Chain A
Amino acid sequence: MEKKYWKGVEELQNDAEFVRLKNNEFYENLPLDELVSKKAEETLTPRRDFLKFLGFGVAAASLAACEAPVRKSIPYLIRPEQITPGIANYYASTFSDGYDYASILVKTREGRPIKIEGNSLSSVTKGKVNARVQASVLSLYDNNRLQGPTMNGNPADWPAVDKAITDKLTAIAAKGGKIRILSSTVISPTTLKVIEDFSKKYPGTKHVQYDAVSFSAMIQSNKESFGVNGLPSYSFNKANIIVGFECDFLLNWISPVEYASQYAVTRKLDNGRKEMSKHYQFESALSLTGSNADFRTGIKPSQQLSYIMALHNAIAAKAGLAAAGSSSVDAKQLEKLAAELWTNKGKSLVVCGINNIAAQNLVNSINVMLDNYGNTIDVDTTCYLRKGNDADLSELLSEADKGEIGALFFYNCNPVYSLPAGAAFGNSIKRIELSVAFADRAEETASLCNFICPDHHPLESWSDAEPKKGFYSFGQPSISPLFNTRHMQESMLAWAGTPAAYHDYLSANWKNIAGAMSWDKLIQDGVYEMPAAASGKYPFAANLSSIAEEKSSGGMELVVYENAGMGNGNQANNPWLQELPDPVSKITWDNYLAISPRDAREKGWRQGNIVTIKTSSASIKAPVLIQPGQTPGTVSIALGYGRTKTGKTADSIGWNAYPLVSMRNAALTYSGAVDIQKTADEDYIFAATQSHHTMMGRAIVKETILSEYIKDPNAGNEAELFEVKAGKEILKKPVEEVTLWDEHELGNHHWGMSIDLNSCIGCGACVVACTAENNVPVVGKNEVMRSREMHWIRIDRYYSSDADPKEGEKGDIKLMEDPSDMPKVVFQPVMCQHCNHAPCETVCPVIATSHSSEGLNQMIYNRCVGTRYCANNCPYKVRRFNWFRYTDNPKFDYNMNNDLGKMVLNPDVVVRSRGVMEKCSMCVQRLQEGKLNAKKAGRTIKDGEINVACAQTCPTNAITFGDYNIPDSRLSQMWKPKERSYHLLGELNIQPNVFYQTKVRNIEEGNEA
């Protein structure tokens, strides 16, 4: 089966513009014409002037170089015992901002956190973190953060703020006024206790939790189904069949890092494993999870319930139970799935991301019938990561609307931005007597409050967290507070009249909980996990009789979703996340309205057309992006953009889609009918990393299907043969035997990497980890548009189709009928492949890139003169050129343009200047450090002791780093060219030290649902 991959609609349709661009490495022409034009000739500098300037320049340069600046070196007066300058310290901590959660290790240098790594002691996040948690270290150094408390918009000091707030609270309490605390989900048991203490002091207090992306219906459904108030824990790793309904569980659903690592376990084919899970996905927009599914069915939001009902009824028929309502979906369509689920009873998992009680009840019922409770779903180990209650929220909103609230506190939430009716709520806030925000900046909500009492950043805080029942983790500050901020808990305690340092309060609380465990041990480990309770089975009690199908309006239907970088938008001002390409569309610095290619053709819309999107209650404008895989008849738009008051990086980037969310059946609903009209506005240009760096249509992602793989592990990875003339004969030889070059002599190590395309889900955590580790600059939207992004690792995303161009008709691809509407998707991380016979090395005129005896392709910045020959000659297009100086340059006003933001830089890696090439160094600073540690201890390096930043953070362990010289290292064990291992563009025989493992899909030939 021949497959054709392409990187975008442009390539598929073979646009003239695309063809032109793909043949040019550089997106734009250099302004050479200007230089050689007539006009330039007229202004030619006379020879004498030239010599004068030359002489002056040389003299000035020599003078400037003569006097070295005096550099001060100021040691500590009293050095903290644990700090040795130049040596990193790691602190176990916890990142939790009411949205993302991870148990982490914070790497600090000379007291500055510079990198976040996962805490492998945690059995929830298992030492892995996602892109947003990786990037949170930069949010710490955001110079748009508030520097201290404010009172009515003016800077104030804490005693004054405390007095004013306490006085007002006392007055409100005396009147019997309502006091409300609105927060996103709080998973800290001690914070909940603080709120309880506060409530005791002011009895009119009620704590309302809500999630910008709500799971309220799911919690409600669990209550109806099993009498359990909360979300269950899932074990994707135990499931053979996984079914997702509009549920992006690999990227943004409840505990994505945990689920992604569990999911990967079922997808890996290491050590000769011959079975893998089968993943079905039903969704409207092409989500990251959907793109990893074996079978993906595009459904409209109005069909969601029908499909779930149909599946439910098909399984109910097998179980001999009553059907729930009648579905218009053809039962045959789901028969195969139902049968597979039924044969994998107790080893399957059906999940649903729709905030709709009926849908969740049906899914619960399906999982009960499939005997999944107690096996893949654990109701007893309640997951606390989402606790928001939409009914409570509605009540609070109406109270605020009626002006009944005396005091309102906002913790870890930004409702004016993230609620559909945020603007109206903002007006209500202005009328409230006492409104206090604990926000770190004067954002949309906080700027309307009387007081902003900024909380510490999570990396400056003491904290505890309970993501799942009995699984605790702890946070300790890894830096003294940068600004005059204060723990939210300390503020609350002070206002409750029992001021205490939060650390003391926290440790005292834990003495009660953990008993024998010492506080120091808890903090050192960062986690404390109780033995898991037995997972019980519960009788299903919800009533399914009244469930009816939704009626489609017949028009366009919209889905709003969270993407990889922004999530719900609370870290929007983080330039690393803004520049992280969307995993599927590869667009940076923007959101957009994704529309299916078919709809675009029918409506005659082009990419970049601006449209207005109207729901019954809101109307926003957004540009159109043609997205293969988007279900025809639906459109989708990402949340988290369109901030107005979060800081200079994110303000006015993208469009806020929260107004498109609606409150339906007392639940926040993230889909619905919309009216879309094209406007006459000028077309919008996206900054995408998608249509450039093409690999020219060659077979670079190798894949096969499971049944073929079982028959022959080498399936889809047949060796390339090369024709060689020997005398008059033409011999076919394996490419490895045809080479011009001599082998490199290897030393003590031979570093390499393996990338398992079967478990890479394309989430982008590695991209941000690499950015943080290697001081990769942020270049901004305009430069990304010119293909000048600097990421050392990129994740290529290819759409596939079975439609082959006929022989000799390569130019006619676009004549084929809708091939890209529902494509298969593969993700392929590409970084420098560290070729042993590297094409870049041979063309460098100044030997600024050379080969090391450890298999590394070295890039020496101070030697580079910027000819860019190497980038031209690199077949993988992984070299990045510094077109500008990205530090201290007001044109690139991101973190490297201010002293605070520069604190995140890794002092062991050079900050590159203008005019030099750079690329993945395989984290050579980590290799050198690891080697040195081994040398000092006089021992060999153990496999796994050194790890590179991308592999370290990868939630699915798709990247493996190691030493080929150790025969039993994981890497050496994985290198099986007769099975799945292959080199990218192996036909070139440039012998990369990075290799890939073929992707295996669990589908059957000819049946691709």
Chain B
Amino acid sequence: MNNLYRTRYFLLLISVISIMLISFQSANAQDGEALYKANCTACHAVKEKVIGPALMGVSKRRSEDWLIKWIRNSQSLIKANDEYAIKIFNEYNKTVMTSFNLKDEEIKAILAYIKTEEAKPDATAAPVASGTTGAPVEEKPIWPWLLAAVVVLYLLSGILRRVQETLSTAVRQKQGIAEPAPTTNWKKNREWIRRNKKLIAVILILLTIVGSVKAWYSLQAIGISQGYNPDQPIAYSHQLHAGEMGISCIYCHSGAERGKVAGIPSANVCMNCHKYVKKGPVTGTEEIAKIYKALDYDPDKGTYGPNTKPIQWVRVHNLPDLAYFNHSQHVVVGQIACQTCHGPVQDSMTVAYQYSPLTMNWCITCHRETKVKMAGNGYYNDLHKKMMNSNVPDSMITVEKIGGLECARCHY
């Protein structure tokens, strides 16, 4: 019995210890993850070269002692003429690795985390598998069904008429009524028209009215490209960048706060992130590669070549030359949100399209309705006082009230 107890006790102890050990080890790896993310990811990735080498298999390549020395102070190793250190330093364009004042255990934890990461399958493939941002399910068009229904109905009505004719012929034969003289369809139609003149007049008038209204609106729409959604050289998704990633509009369209045009960002702005983010969901990887191609950038080596080629975007918002529009006036002074004119860019716009009609009517309507934010802007001090004196309440001071509908505000 004692033996049994002892054995049981022993087993229990072992299992507790092993559980503790296991949990300790995993805790170690978890610390490693945090440390790795805090310190290493600016320059390293596990499976690819970024600024520094890929870290996969690093523990196999070098001993733990060497790695600790290297991470603490890589330059001292180089000064000590360590062959491998010099080699790797030269290979990466003599970029000095930052020295990290980490404890041995912490470095070991990082290495442990790297080992666990090595084993995982390719992480970037995951979103594709999950299908969250996959291509939308293609909707089957409804018109073949409608067409089929029309055909069926037509056939059905034909059959029914035949049946009716057959039946009425049968009835006539039975009652001995003579067959009516056959009339041509043409005659029948004329007869019908003669009898329904009023109806036809009404229909014609209605058609004319509807047609005129349609024509009027379609003529009015000439030159208005609301919804214009041209193919772009890079299938850039605003929804992903501005929506999911939460990047501010101004980060890329920095001109909006400063000048007349918001501007399409130059490729060097893309590279601020895409130097590191080399892969993307869906078609992202190929699209990002287009930036590299434009800049003649080699993502493996991190070097720029001479054969650059500008990206030829298609302009979506085309104001006529006769209208002057200044973004900074609206964004900075008017404090109008980008979405007011550009629509739900971050929610549903992948490749940008023209959300607003950009007509003069549209501009003027907004100028009539929008209140001027005079408070706190020293420029308006005098005007504000003047308007207060003439009893114009703040809620009434629209852009129109301060001359915002005058021609030479936009046309010169």
> B322 touching A861 by the CB < 8 A rule?
yes
> A940 touching B261 by the CB < 8 A rule?
no
> A70 touching B314 by the CB < 8 A rule?
yes
* Interchain CB contact (< 8 A) of B412 among A73, A86, A921: A921
Q: Which residues of B contact A78 (CB under 8 A)?
A: 266-268, 295
Q: 8 smallest A-B Cβ distances: which pairs?
A: A86-B260, A86-B259, A858-B408, A79-B266, A73-B315, A76-B266, A71-B315, A853-B403
With A and B bound together, what is the CA distance between A78 and B254 in angstroms? Answer: 14
Closest CB-CB distance, A948 to chain B, in whole Å?
A: 13
Q: Are A86 and B222 also in contact (CB < 8 A) when A858-B406, A932-B333 are?
A: no
Complex interface bits, A930-949 against B, C-beta within 8 A gives 1, otherwise 0: 01101111111100000000
Query: Is A72's CB within 8 Å of the partner chain B?
Result: yes
Query: Is B258's CB within 8 Å of the partner chain A?
Result: yes
Task: Give the residues from 51 to 84 in chain A that come closer than 8 angstroms, CB to CB, to chain B.
Answer: 62, 65-66, 68, 70-79, 84
Closest CB-CB distance, B203 to chain A, in whole Å?
A: 27
Q: Which residues of A contact B260 (CB under 8 A)?
A: 85-87, 908
Q: Which residues of A contact B333 (CB under 8 A)?
A: 932, 935-936
> A86 touching B261 by the CB < 8 A rule?
yes
> A62 touching B219 by the CB < 8 A rule?
yes
> A852 touching B264 by the CB < 8 A rule?
no
**22 A–B contacts from the bound complex (CB under 8 Å):** A70-B314, A71-B314, A74-B312, A75-B310, A76-B268, A77-B267, A79-B268, A84-B254, A84-B259, A85-B259, A85-B260, A86-B260, A747-B402, A858-B406, A858-B411, A861-B411, A862-B320, A928-B326, A932-B329, A935-B329, A935-B380, A940-B379
Task: Give the residues from 294 to 328 in chain B that come closer than 8 angstroms, CB to CB, to chain A.
Answer: 294-295, 308, 310-315, 318, 320-322, 324, 326, 328
Q: Which residues of A contact B315 (CB under 8 A)?
A: 70-73
* Interchain CB contact (< 8 A) of A924 among B222, B269, B402, B412: B412
Q: Which residues of A contact B223 (CB under 8 A)?
A: 65, 68
> B378 touching A939 by the CB < 8 A rule?
yes
> B258 touching A66 by the CB < 8 A rule?
no
> A928 touching B259 by the CB < 8 A rule?
no
> A85 touching B377 by the CB < 8 A rule?
no
Query: Is A850's CB within 8 Å of the partner chain B?
Result: yes
Which residue of A has the minimal Cβ distance to B219? A62
Query: Is A910's CB within 8 Å of the partner chain B?
Result: yes
Query: Is A160's CB within 8 Å of the partner chain B?
Result: no
Interface size on A, residues (CB 8 A): 50
With A and B bound together, what is the CA distance between A75 and B308 in angstroms? Answer: 13
With A and B bound together, what is the CA distance between A66 and B269 in angstroms? Answer: 36
With A and B bound together, what is the CA distance between A277 and B266 in angstroms? Answer: 59
Q: Which residues of B contact A66 (CB under 8 A)?
A: 222
* Interchain CB contact (< 8 A) of B311 among A74, A860, A911, A938: A74
> B408 touching A860 by the CB < 8 A rule?
yes
Closest CB-CB distance, A531 to chain B, in whole Å?
A: 40
Which residue of B has the minimal Cβ distance to A939? B378
> A73 touching B264 by the CB < 8 A rule?
yes
Closest CB-CB distance, A197 to chain B, in whole Å?
A: 34
> B406 touching A748 by the CB < 8 A rule?
no
Interface of chain A, helix or strand or loop or mixed?
Answer: loop
> B382 touching A856 by the CB < 8 A rule?
no
Query: Is A782's CB within 8 Å of the partner chain B?
Result: no
> B406 touching A852 by the CB < 8 A rule?
yes
Closest CB-CB distance, B222 to chain A, in whole Å?
A: 5
Which residue of B has the minimal Cβ distance to A858? B408
With A and B bound together, what is the CA distance between A66 and B219 in angstroms? Answer: 9
Complex interface bits, B323-347 against A, C-beta within 8 A gives 1, otherwise 0: 0101011001100000000000000
Where the two chains meet, the residues of B that have a C-beta atom closer than 8 Å to any C-beta of A are 219, 222-223, 225, 228, 230, 254-255, 258-261, 263-269, 294-295, 308, 310-315, 318, 320-322, 324, 326, 328-329, 332-333, 376-383, 402-403, 406-409, 411-412
Which residue of B has the minimal Cβ distance to A936? B332
Q: Which residues of B contact A747 (CB under 8 A)?
A: 383, 402-403
Which residue of A has the minimal Cβ distance to B231? A70
Query: Is A606's CB within 8 Å of the partner chain B?
Result: no
Q: Which residues of B contact A74 (CB under 8 A)?
A: 310-313
Query: Is A736's CB within 8 Å of the partner chain B?
Result: no
With A and B bound together, what is the CA distance between A850 and B254 in angstroms? Answer: 35
Query: Is A914's CB within 8 Å of the partner chain B?
Result: no
Which residue of B has the minimal Cβ distance to A908? B324
Q: Are A70 and B230 also in contact (CB < 8 A) when A79-B268, A925-B412 are?
A: yes
Which residue of B has the minimal Cβ distance to A923? B412
Q: Are A75 and B328 also in contact (CB < 8 A) when A86-B261, A858-B408, A910-B322 are?
A: no
Q: Are A924 and B408 also in contact (CB < 8 A) when A68-B225, A747-B402, A939-B378 are?
A: yes
* Interchain CB contact (< 8 A) of B313 among A73, A863, A909, A935: A73
> A75 touching B311 by the CB < 8 A rule?
yes
> B263 touching A939 by the CB < 8 A rule?
no
* Interchain CB contact (< 8 A) of B382 among A850, A910, A921, A940: A940
Closest CB-CB distance, A248 to chain B, in whole Å?
A: 37
* Interchain CB contact (< 8 A) of A75 among B219, B258, B266, B409: B266
Closest CB-CB distance, A943 to chain B, in whole Å?
A: 14
Closest CB-CB distance, A870 to chain B, in whole Å?
A: 14
Q: Are A940 and B378 also in contact (CB < 8 A) when A75-B264, A79-B266 are?
A: yes
Query: Is A854's CB within 8 Å of the partner chain B?
Result: yes
Closest CB-CB distance, B214 to chain A, in whole Å?
A: 14
* Interchain CB contact (< 8 A) of A860 among B268, B310, B313, B411: B411
Complex interface bits, A387-413 against B, C-beta within 8 A gives 1, otherwise 0: 000000000000000000000000000
Q: Which residues of A contact B378 (CB under 8 A)?
A: 937-940
Q: Which residues of A contact B383 (CB under 8 A)?
A: 747-748
Which residue of A has the minimal Cβ distance to B258? A84
Complex interface bits, A654-695 against B, C-beta within 8 A gives 1, otherwise 0: 000000000000000000000000000000000000000000
* Interchain CB contact (< 8 A) of B377 among A86, A860, A935: A935
Closest CB-CB distance, A526 to chain B, in whole Å?
A: 24
Q: Which residues of B contact A908 (CB under 8 A)?
A: 260, 324, 412
> A85 touching B261 by the CB < 8 A rule?
yes
Task: Give the residues from 876 to 914 in chain A that come closer than 8 angstroms, CB to CB, to chain B.
Answer: 908-911
Q: Which residues of A contact B328 (CB under 8 A)?
A: 932, 936
Q: Which residues of B contact A75 (CB under 8 A)?
A: 263-267, 310-311, 313
Closest CB-CB distance, B412 to chain A, in whole Å?
A: 5
With A and B bound together, what is the CA distance between A941 and B378 in angstroms? Answer: 10
> B222 touching A62 by the CB < 8 A rule?
yes
> B318 touching A68 by the CB < 8 A rule?
yes
With A and B bound together, what is the CA distance between A66 and B220 in angstroms? Answer: 11
With A and B bound together, what is the CA distance between A940 and B259 in angstroms? Answer: 19
